[in-house]
Amino acid sequence: MNFQICNFILYPNDYSVNKRFTMTTGMTVVICCHNSVLRIAPTLKHLANQKNLPLSSWEVIIVDNASTDNTSEFSAQVWNDIKGEKPVFKIVQENTPGLSSARKKGIEESNYDYVLFCDDDNWLDENYLSIALNIMQANPLIGALGGTGYPVFEDKEPPCFWVNQYHTLAVGEQSAIDGDITNTRGVLYGAGMIVNKTAFNTLKQKFSFQFQVTDRIGKSLASSGDHELCLALKKIGYKIYYSKSLKFQHFIPKQRTTIKYYKRLYLGFGISYALLHVYRINDKTIYNVKNDYRYICLRAFVKIIIIDIKLLLHGYYFDTNKYKYLDQIQGLYTHKGVLSTFLKVKNAFKFQYLNLPLFATKSL
């Protein structure tokens, strides 16, 4: 089938564009990209292989998030070169850096009821979309749905990976149970996550929802925008679901399994933990001394000292195999992120709790 390219929107020649935009039941796949030329091709090829889903019930949107390479042009060419029938493909620009901003843009540009966040290195199973759509349609109270990522390493699997590293890279089962995890794990990693667009629009329009975390910007590894979205959806009464039947491969380049990368990643976890503290307080605890930034900073500082001493005593600084200390490294750098961020924001989370519309829904 031939395609027409116009302003980075690709439509099949025999596809009714007017009819397309009057339909809402279906799935929008949003791929947020920042300099993705080296990763995007296999992601798009796996998407084109989706089965058991009419072309009229899904679309693909690339959100080019301030790329400095030719991500947009390259993505359009890759999609155009894929043989066979394909759904509508669109590329939009989001100049505000950060994954959360890019995902928000993708939702705003979507034309269907449900939005699937497919990272630029996620290779979805051929039935991922059809299974996800069936689950979401069966229960309108699902706010977010997640699946299971399986790692595909550019290099060899790093030591101790399945012991202490898999969830940090958005792979592995997210829960021991299948179905409603709202009151157990309660959050999902963003890779492969499906969002109920009605729920998101409720957050935005009724509660003026804004992300407290920007998520990753360039080389910064601040994260947890996915967790924040789940926490916000729970606040307004939606459910968080997980399905083991949703499977995808997650390509992991060798630089993302180095100790240096993990340190930056864990530091980002700590930053995000601090920025999302507003979700962990309530009317009874907001003025508790343990929720004062000075107490939190002192506690983080003490833990940093304790972990550092343990690492020294266990020979970490002289051992060539740093991977066996990853649990301690995670604790050390996460607490460093918590400490540095709370010293900057202080008790700003209390102001957020008392003034943001989302946190007035305490009874939900």
- Number of structural domains in the chain: 2
- Do 226 and 299 lie in one domain? The reply is no
- Do 348 and 210 lie in one domain? The reply is no
Whether 260 is covered by a domain: the verdict is: no
Per-residue confidence (pLDDT) for residue 223, from 0 to 100 = 61
Per-residue confidence (pLDDT) for residue 182, from 0 to 100 = 98
- Do 151 and 131 lie in one domain? The reply is yes
Query: Under DSSP, is residue 262 helix (H, G, I), strand (E, B) or coil?
Result: helix
252-285: pLDDT as tens digits:
999 999 999 999 999 999 999 999 999 999 999 9
Domain final residue, candidates 236, 255, 274: 255
What is the per-residue DSSP string for 173-200?
-S-SSSEE-TTTT----STTEEEEHHHH
Q: Which two tokens stand for residue 336?
A: 């460093």
pLDDT at 20 over 50: no
- Do 171 and 287 lie in one domain? The reply is no
- Do 183 and 165 lie in one domain? The reply is yes
107-144: pLDDT as tens digits:
999 999 999 999 999 999 999 999 999 999 999 999 99
- Do 274 and 246 lie in one domain? The reply is no
Per-residue confidence (pLDDT) for residue 222, from 0 to 100 = 59
Per-residue confidence (pLDDT) for residue 105, from 0 to 100 = 95
Whether 59 is covered by a domain: the verdict is: yes
85-109: pLDDT as tens digits:
999 999 999 999 888 889 999 999 9
148-188: pLDDT as tens digits:
999 999 988 988 888 878 888 999 999 999 999 999 999 99
Output the CA torsion 72→75→76→79 (10° steps): -170
- Do 245 and 293 lie in one domain? The reply is no
- Do 161 and 49 lie in one domain? The reply is yes
Domain final residue, candidates 216, 232, 255: 255
22-31: pLDDT as tens digits:
347 899 999 9
183-220: pLDDT as tens digits:
999 999 999 999 999 999 999 999 999 888 754 444 55
Rounded to 10°, the helix 40-48/71-81 angle is 30
Range of the domain at 11: 3-255
Domain final residue, candidates 227, 255, 283: 255
- Do 331 and 224 lie in one domain? The reply is no
Alpha helices in the chain (DSSP H): 17-20, 40-48, 71-81, 99-109, 128-138, 161-164, 197-207, 225-235, 259-275, 293-313, 326-345, 348-355
- Do 178 and 325 lie in one domain? The reply is no
- Do 135 and 209 lie in one domain? The reply is yes
